[in-house]
Chains A and B, each alone.
Chain A
């Protein structure tokens, strides 16, 4: 008896009518399929350029539609906005926030005494229990798609390990205008430059439609998603 790999591939060849391949388990030999040309008539890009006011407006609209919170914040105001947002997460004023080791440290410059920053890196990862005990995580993003309201992280040092943007209950994500494209193909093209990076596509907070197909926000992933959208400087 041949090994599973050889046998499965031999069955596939038989199913496609390739010569000398034997048969499938049901004793079949298939006919060769026709040659296929894939039509790509769909939109490869949107009407609006990356970072334009139109795509930013659309991104905000779609994020809000899926119950994410969005603020447009100028670069210079980011530290203050981050600090205000994080300290608002706790009534007692004591907040623990996880950040990836490659995050722009300037974003943390406005943080008050009540906020404890825990840095995570692949070399010194925080255990899952500590991530679970943290109040929030602050990350950058790789690309955003306005038509679908999607933000993509690709695990680079300013976004961190996948676990850190997953376990804490609040995800604060900074997205720059030039990262915002209109369509999915534009986003995939940017991400395709490094397809081997682990990607997480995020469209709003975690949600489920499993009960009567009614959408409910907030399940296992972060129940709250804050997006800080930075317009062009």
Chain B
């Protein structure tokens, strides 16, 4: 059993930093080279985002709204806990039988006229998409919102290949127009309020009505008008997938606006990028996840639109369908007995919405397209092969500290991922890796010193009297905000209650006229 240090590690810099230029009015975060590792390390990034009062107000409002909606629709389901149990076990089964289920999915998609590709990493997946788009002569593809394509940086790769990727989900469109990065799994523009969105549309959309107001309905109508022609003329669409049914080869996309349906239905060619963990064993298993997902994510009984398709249906929808099965670090996550549960995630984002840390620092502070509690366990593990879990100099190893371990994320997770336990496990590994690198272990040294002090009554009493000197460091409210080293390591990220002006022993001696360790003879 390893000891776990619960404080934040030292600030590190991420390797691919690109500073935001002063000429960038909207995008505080320009597109990074590595979608799973960008910006400052969490402690420093959080320090920066915490200064943004507007961001905190926007996030506070949005997460409060969604928490209430989720709670209301979850409370009306009498068998919610039974559904969570089933969802959790189903995902565990998927992981245990993944080789067989992947082969089954591939066989069924192929039998129904689809083409299955495999991608070891982001570069391979990007290359496959670009080749398909170019083979179709498309210089433009329409996109359904997809975390997998965010994770591999598909849009940037396609742009480099001369293919424009057009995001059609409203929030993704806002992020794309602002040249920003997503800050939430479900609502990538959650850090923007309606007025900021209006300003982005007016400045960047091109065809936004000049008298556009900041009423959400008007903003949605502007997006509808803007994208209509693109939908009707697009030749190639790119999507992710929420679920892939192994036993039938059926894929599912869950959405609200109809942009998903447009992309999945109208273009001649559809390319779907799906992480290998997104499987469910059989069609009937959808009855579990299609109950868990909408109530947990948008707080609706059911999302407006869910599309299911199996290969190619002659005369209805795309005549060519490609499925790309993506690893990109997932097998490293799967290899971890504790951490593999992170792959059960169905990307509902409920854990973000309840997280007290996420609500205050926002998604960009996590430096990954997967922010919040799930991101804090997923991002380091997905980047394990490049040091994400235990790399002393890897900023992603700091992410498991981006939590108070309050457990709210576990309570709301529809597939019962024990995020706090995985966070603690990842912290332990970061500490262990650190220990083996450094000659002197300050934690062990401190423990040894404490043991020497506490093993002798005289030494302990003296130490207590010395500690009361710290009382002077406290403010009028009895809180120390900046302590001298080595206690500064603690107060860098949190307050410390000031020690009392006298120790318990001193108080006892004063009250009873004799030292506490002489006992009571009566």
Contacts and interface: CB of A to CB of B under 8 A. Distances in A.
Contacts of A40: 86
Prevailing SS type, chain A contact patch: loop
B301 A216 contact: no
Interface in B265-303: 265-266, 276, 283-284, 286-288, 290-291, 294, 298, 300-303
B310 A195 contact: yes
A192 B245 CA distance: 12
Contact of B310 (A62, A148, A196, A208): A196
Given A209-B256, A211-B220, A213-B187, A125 B315 contact: yes
A122 B313 CA distance: 10
A211 B216 contact: yes
A72 B101 CA distance: 44
Interface in B290-340: 290-291, 294, 298, 300-311, 313-317, 325, 327, 329, 331-332, 334-337, 340
Contacts of A24: 331-332, 334-335, 385
Interface stretch (B118-126, B130-138, B364-372, B466-474): B118-126
A220 B229 CA distance: 11
A30 B336 contact: yes
Nearest to A43: B79
A185 interface: yes
Contacts of A148: 291, 294, 301-302
Nearest to B108: A196
Contacts of A11: 327, 331
Contacts of B96: 16, 33-36
A27 B502 CA distance: 55
B256 to A, nearest CB: 5
A132 interface: yes
B509 interface: no
A199 B308 CA distance: 5
Which of A38, A196, A219 has most chain B Cβ within 10 Å?
A219
A141 B490 CA distance: 62
Given A12-B99, A12-B334, A210-B189, A166 B301 contact: no
B306 A200 contact: yes
Nearest to B295: A148
Contacts of A28: 332, 335-336, 384
Contacts of B197: 211
B257 to A, nearest CB: 4
A200 B317 CA distance: 12
A128 B65 CA distance: 37
A185 B282 CA distance: 13
Contacts of A188: 283-284, 286-287, 290
B79 A41 contact: yes
A203 interface: yes
Contact of B194 (A37, A132, A212): A212
Nearest to B334: A15
Nearest 9 CB-CB pairs, A to B?
Answer: A221-B258, A122-B315, A30-B335, A15-B334, A148-B302, A220-B258, A28-B335, A11-B331, A201-B306
7 contacts: A12-B331, A16-B334, A37-B89, A147-B301, A161-B265, A184-B291, A218-B217
Interface of B: 58, 61-63, 65-66, 69, 78-79, 82-83, 85-86, 89-90, 92-93, 95-96, 98-99, 102-103, 112, 117-120, 124, 168-171, 174, 187, 189-190, 193-194, 197, 216-217, 219-221, 223-224, 227-228, 231-232, 245, 248-250, 256-259, 261-262, 264-266, 276, 283-284, 286-288, 290-291, 294, 298, 300-311, 313-317, 325, 327, 329, 331-332, 334-337, 340, 384-385
Given A208-B216, A218-B217, A220-B258, 12 more contacts: A4-B117, A8-B118, A24-B334, A38-B89, A147-B301, A162-B265, A162-B317, A210-B187, A212-B58, A215-B300, A219-B257, A220-B261
Interface of A: 3-5, 7-9, 11-16, 18, 24-31, 33-43, 62, 66, 121-123, 125, 128-129, 132, 145, 147-150, 155, 161-163, 166-167, 184-185, 187-189, 191-192, 195-216, 218-222
